[in-house]
Chains A and B, each alone.
Chain A
Amino acid sequence: MSTGDADPAAGDDEGPGLYVESTIIMTTVRLVAPFILTFALFIMFHGADSPGGGFQGGVIAGSVVMMLAFAYGIDSTRQWLDVRVVSALASGGVFAFVGIGLGAMALGGQFLQYAEFEALFGHAIKYAIELVELGIGAIVAAVAIGLFFLLAAGFDGVAEGDSS
């Protein structure tokens, strides 16, 4: 994983005492993170016909980034996971969802009528639902990550406008 390359010292400018470098935590996180991400995808793919789905899977995927932030420092994680990635995940998820919905409409069905895709390739209903779940998962993960970064950034900017 490329996270391993991130320099823990980059977290210096965080407030004192916020980040403590620990070999045990870093090693554990490095070992566990790929499995958690896989588990998140597992849950997302199970949205169609068993308990699970994009919401739950997305939160788990988002929690991976939070875990990395605890192990390697919030600022270095923020540099590693560019804001463009987070924005693209959130908007891309919406586009995937709406695209599948409108695609069914273009093929002559109702909005989100998955059966319309059957004419194009086999088992299209399942694939379309899985894609929608993945889209939802991407939105939820991106929003969870974005909220975490925003909260971690503190509220300095807000206090200024207090006089109004």
Chain B
Amino acid sequence: MQEKRSDSTLEIKNLNISFIQGEKEANALRGISLSLKRNEVHSLVGESGSGKTVTSTCIMGLLPTPPGRINSGQIILNDQDLLLLEEKDQRQIRGKEIAMVFQEPARYLNPTLKVGDQITEMLILHLGMGKGEALDRALEIFDLVGLDGGKRILDSYPHELSGGMKQRIMIAIAISCNPAFLIADEPTTALDVTLQLQILKLILSLKNTLDMGILFISHDLRVVHDISDWVSVIYAGRIVESASREKLFSDPKHPYTRLLLESIPDADKRGKRLQTIPGKVPDAEDIPGGCAFHTRCPLAEDICKTVQPETKEVGEGHSHTTACHFIGKQWKQWKN
């Protein structure tokens, strides 16, 4: 293994991104801050359309501009702002320092290239390996991600392999250059439940053996509960609550987080009507003023419609932050 050059954190600071379509402007991210530490899983949770994928695309430097526009913010790695780097230098980071695993391996692998080609091209490009050396390294990585039948898999096309194997291959490709950080965008959503568990275990064990920081993007709170060290909840392009896993699941402060937790089906709730959150995430081009959640919030009062709540510390140190005017306030039975 080559020496690591990366710092221990990947810092996203006040990222503000919009999409321009003709006259319309959609605010996809409205000031996102996240920090990702080595050997830690930081989950980003939210409904679809809340800005999870935009965040990860932007970190990878893959945001198409236009239509995307970065209004402000920084992504700091090794004292460098990745957003200021030229494309050529960004390519040195992509795959090598920060790698990504996607949701549907079947669609995210090239159907006409052998698996061997798809994994070795990166090793050859980033680490300057020869073909033979790269193939040997690929076999080592296959062992690491629990793929047996190494040589045969190198010679296979993606469609010849099962869904679980394909996702292991995606992961193998992502970790092949020993990246400091890994972005996993719903890596288990397209898999069945037993496979989900295996892949999650694999991701956790790789985090430890490779000392990786993982940004885990998901809408599934149960998965997030199993895997995370830290959890941030995103709503309409803003992080509404961020805390260690224990804090977030035992003592959620933001009404959105609380409602999300209540909507997890659970054996204790058998027989009761499952809580749902009425309405849906607002369109990015039509985000309500004040607190964006006020249209769906049981606590909303007049102030919520006009004043956007500041992000406040609610725990000791920096262990828990949330953005709500009525932190921790209880509400009566939610009318469904």
Q: Do A and B bind each other?
A: no
Q: Which residues of A approach B to under 8 Å, CB–CB?
A: none
